[in-house]
Structure formats: C-alpha cells, structure tokens
Amino acid sequence: MFATPLDDTTLDLATRSYDTVLLGEGDTPLGHLRKQADIHQAHHTVSAHYRAVEQAQQALYVAIDHTINEFPATLGSVLWEEHWTGYPDPWLTEDANGFAVAHLGDGVWVHHTVTTSSCDDGHSVRWQVSERHTVTLIAPCSCGQGYRTAPIASEDELLDMVHEFTREPCSISKHGCPHPCGSAR
Ligand SMILES: [Zn+2]
C-alpha cells in the first residue's frame, strides 16, 4: 500500500483551528493570515493522506477479489495480498479509484484498476453506476528499449500473453522494434 507519510508538524497543525492558535502580540495581519493558511493547508494534507490510504487499500482488495473470482486458476491462485501493492488515484480525486500492481517476475507486471461510470437510465432520476475492471499485463519488450502492454480479459488471454512475453529472446534490433513498445528505434 502506498501513501505519502505525514510529518509531525502537519499533524499538529491539523488538530488546530485558527481560534486556538496562540497569536503573538507582535504578529502583523499578514502573519495572522499565514498561520491561518498553514492550518488550512495542514487540514487539506491530512484529508488527502487518508483519502490516499483508503483508495490504495480499496484498490488492493478489489484487485485480489477480482482475480480470485475471474482468474481462479491463474492470478487468483498464485497472487496473495503480499504480492499486490495498492496505489491511490494519481490526482487523489474524491470518489476516484486507485489501482494495484503485482510483479510476476522478470519485469512482468499485472495491473488492475476499476473504472466507475454513472449514467442516467432514461426513465427516472435514478443514476446507474457501472464498474468495469481492467487487467493489463505490462512487460519489457524483447528489444530492450520499451514496455509492451496488453489488456487481459480472460485466463486464456493471460496465458497466451505471458507465453508471448516470455518466449522471445532479447535482441538488439537494428531496424526498429516490430512491437508497439514505445521505443524510439
Ligand atoms: Zn520493442
């Protein structure tokens, strides 16, 4: 699970409100405003931290749950909680989903995330919320210059991609990589 840790100064400031700050006699109006701004920032930082922790933890559990249910013979059988690392939504947006990754060895990773979308069902004011799970395999390209990614929808696809990603020997290609791997060559 990944989230930026909080320092003591931030935690201390976040327990305060402006009224409880001991104002120095000699503080200028700008000085008072700075204290208020520091407290405001600390409250913001602490709530963002807990949002990150929650999103990362949620992403971890959702990934485990999804792979156990949808990939019971492969990912669900070999990846446990300690293999997965959960991350928060990169922008820490409220109600956004984080993602989780697990290393399968040799630089090959599996990435899981959930896309939540809501839409009007057209008949009432009720909104339908749907969740789409995306499992992606990420592997170093055999050209050694980039990474290849493949969306995985089933265990058969997973086995095919793992096979493809591991069977090609590393090569130094002089004429450009044949894969869409993001390499400059
Ligand atoms: Zn390549």
Give residue-wise pLDDT tens across range 93-124.
878 899 999 999 989 999 999 998 877 666 66
Residue 184 lies in a domain: no
- 7 DSSP assignment: P
**What is the rounded average pLDDT of the residues 58-65?**
96
Residue 153 lies in a domain: yes
Expressed in angstroms and rounded, the spacing between residue 28 Cα and the centre of ligand 1 is: 61
Expressed in angstroms and rounded, the spacing between residue 158 Cα and the centre of ligand 1 is: 20
Expressed in angstroms and rounded, the spacing between residue 185 Cα and the centre of ligand 1 is: 8
Question: What are 153-176's pLDDT values in tens digits?
Answer: 999 999 999 988 877 766 655 456
Expressed in angstroms and rounded, the spacing between residue 16 Cα and the centre of ligand 1 is: 54
How far apart are alpha carbons 84 and 100 in whole angstroms?
Answer: 6
Expressed in angstroms and rounded, the spacing between residue 103 Cα and the centre of ligand 1 is: 20
Residue 182 lies in a domain: no
How far apart are alpha carbons 127 and 124 in whole angstroms?
Answer: 8
Residue 137 lies in a domain: yes
Residue 173 lies in a domain: no
CB 139 within 8 A of CB 180: no
Verdict on whether the full-model pTM lies above 0.95: no
CB 97 within 8 A of CB 57: no
Residue 181 lies in a domain: no
> What domain range includes position 54?
8-167
Residue 2 lies in a domain: no
Instruction: Return the pLDDT at 4.
Output: 75
Question: What are 1-47's pLDDT values in tens digits?
Answer: 567 788 999 998 888 887 655 666 677 888 888 888 999 999 999 99
How far apart are alpha carbons 174 and 119 in whole angstroms?
Answer: 49
Residue 177 lies in a domain: no
> How many separate domains does the chain show?
1
